[in-house]
Amino acid sequence: MTNETRTPPTSPGRSRSVVDVLRDAVRDNMRQYGMLVALGLIVVLFQIWTGGTLLLPNNVSNLIQQNSYILILAMGMMIVIIAGHIDLSVGSVAAFVGALSAVMMVKHDMPWVAALVVSLVIGALAGAWHGFWIAYVGIPSFIVTLAGMLLFRGATQIVLEGESVGPFPHGFQQMAQGFIPEMGPYTQYHNPTLLLGALVIVVVLVQQWRDRRSQLAYELEPLPFNIWVVKCVAIVAAVVAVTLTLASYRGVPVVLLILCALLIGLGFVMRNTVTGRHVYALGGNKAAAKLSGVKDKRVTFLVFVNMGTLAALAGCVYAARLDAATPQAGLMFELEAIAAAFIGGASMSGGVGKVMGAVIGGLVLGVLNNGMSLVGIGTDYQQVIKGLVLLAAVGFDVWNKRRAGS
C-alpha cells in the first residue's frame, strides 16, 4: 500500500485550460506520442539522407506493400500481448496457410477467392488449436505457440514437399501487388485515390463532430473548441498529404485498403466493444476480471482465433507478393511482429497497448529497413540497429514510467 496522495482534484465545474488538456494528453499517451515523434524523426532523417527518395510516391507504395504482412501480424500480436499472452507461431502459421493456398490454387485449380476464404478458415482453426490448449487446458501460451511454431513449420514443408509452388492467379497477386484501377478523365493524379481521400476526410469530420455533440449531450466536458479545431485540421492535413502522395503514383495499393480496414475494425473492437474491454481487463488483472464476470477462457480463445486468422491473411499476402509459396516463408515474422508491438507500446505484463501502436511500431521498423537499404546499409548492420531501436523504445518507456512513479 502506498501512502502517497495525489494532487487534489480540479473542481469539476471549472473547465480545463488548453495547457492542462495538452499536458494530460501527452502524459497519458507518452509512449504512443513518443513513438509517433520518433517515427517522424526517422522519416525526416532518411528523407534527407536518401536525398528525397524515401518519400517519393513509388517508394511510399513500395514501403506499404513490403511491410503489409508484418503490420497485419503486429496488429494481432498487439491484441495477444494485451491479453497477457504471446504467440510465437505466427510466422509458421503464415507459411503453412500460404502453402495450402498455393496448393489449392496451383495444383487443384481452385478459384482464388474460394482459396483465400478456405485459407482464412484454416488460419482460424490453427488459432483455435492454440487457443484450446492455452485457454481451456491452461498451458502457458509461450509453450503452446513454441510447439505450434515447430509443428506448422514442419507441416509447411510436408505440404510443399520442400519445393516452391506458384505462380498464382492474377486476382490473388493483386491483393499484395495491385493498385485500385484508374477511372475517369486524365488528371495529373489518380482519380479514385483523390475521391477516396475526400471521402475519408468527410467521414472523419462527421465522426468527430458527432462525437463532440454526443459528449455535450451527456453533459461531459469535451475538448476545448480551439484544440478540437486544431485536431481536425491536423487530421485533414495528414490525409491530404498521404492522398496526394499516393495519387501521384499508381494510386492506393489494394493491401493498404486491407490494412486500413483491419486497423479501423480491430481498433474499434478493442476500444468500443465489450469483448475488447474484456481483453484489457484480463491482461490487466485476470483474477479481478474473472470475479467481475469476464468469461476469461472464451475471451482468450477468441484472441488466438483472431491471431490465427490474421496470420493466415499475412501468409496469403506474403505468398501473393512473392507470387510463390516457399518452405522458408515467414521465418522470423513472429519476432518482427512482437518487436513492432513492443515498440508500439505493449507491455510485457499485458493490459496496455493500442492496435494503432502496433502499426506505428511496425512502421518504425519498416521505414528503418527501407531507409537503410536505400542508403546501402547491409542487412547485417540493419539487424544491429533494429535491435538497438527495440531496446531504446522499451527502455525509454521504462525510464519514463519510473520518473513518473518516484
Residues that bind another protein (CB under 8 A): 1-10, 12, 24, 28, 214-215, 217-220, 271-275, 277-278, 280-281, 284-285, 287-295, 351-352, 404, 406
* Cα distance between residue 271 and residue 266, in whole Å: 8
Q: For residue 325, give the 3-state DSSP assignment.
A: strand
**Which lies closer to another protein via its Cβ, residue 4 or residue 380?**
4
Provide the minimum distance between the beta carbon of 73 and another protein in the complex, in angstroms, as a whole number. 25
Residue 171 C-beta: closest distance to another protein, Å: 33
Instruction: For residues 301 and 293, give the distance between their C-alpha atoms in angstroms, rounded to a whole number.
Output: 16
In whole angstroms, the minimum distance from the beta carbon of 221 to another protein comes to 9
234: which 3 cell numbers?
491536423
Give the side-chain half-sphere CA count within 13 A for 43: 14
Cα–Cα distances (Å) from 400 to 31, 358, 394, in that order, read 9, 19, 10
State how far the Cα of 56 lies from the Cα of 108, in Å rounded to an integer: 41
Q: Which is nearer to another protein, 357 or 371 (CB)?
A: 357
In the bound state with another protein, the residue whose beta carbon lies nearer, of 190 and 278, is: 278
Nearer to another protein, 107 or 402 (CB): 402
Q: Which is nearer to another protein, 17 or 379 (CB)?
A: 17
122 or 294: CB nearest another protein: 294
Cell numbers for 381, please give them: 548492420
> Whole-number minimum distance, CB 216 to another protein, in Å?
9
The distance of closest approach from Cβ of residue 281 to another protein in the complex, given in angstroms and rounded to an integer, is: 5
Q: How far is the CB of 287 from another protein (least distance, A)?
A: 5
Which value, in Å, is the radius of gyration of the alpha carbons in the chain?
Answer: 22
DSSP state of 182: P
Nearer to another protein, 296 or 323 (CB): 296
Q: Report residue 64 as a C-alpha cell.
A: 506499404
Nearest distance, CB of residue 361 and another protein, angstroms: 19
178 and 254 in contact (C-beta within 8 Å)? yes
CB of 107 to another protein, least distance (A): 41
By CB neighbour count within 10 A (0-12 exposed, 13-18 middle, 19+ buried), where does 287 fall?
Answer: exposed
For the CA atoms of 398, 399, 405, 406, the dihedral, rounded to the nearest 10 degrees, stands at 140
Cα 287 to Cα 29, 295, 346, distances in angstroms:
26, 11, 20
CA-based nearest residue to 208, from 245, 179, 177, 233? 233
* Residue among 23 and 170 whose Cβ is closer to another protein: 23
C-alpha cell at 304: 488466438
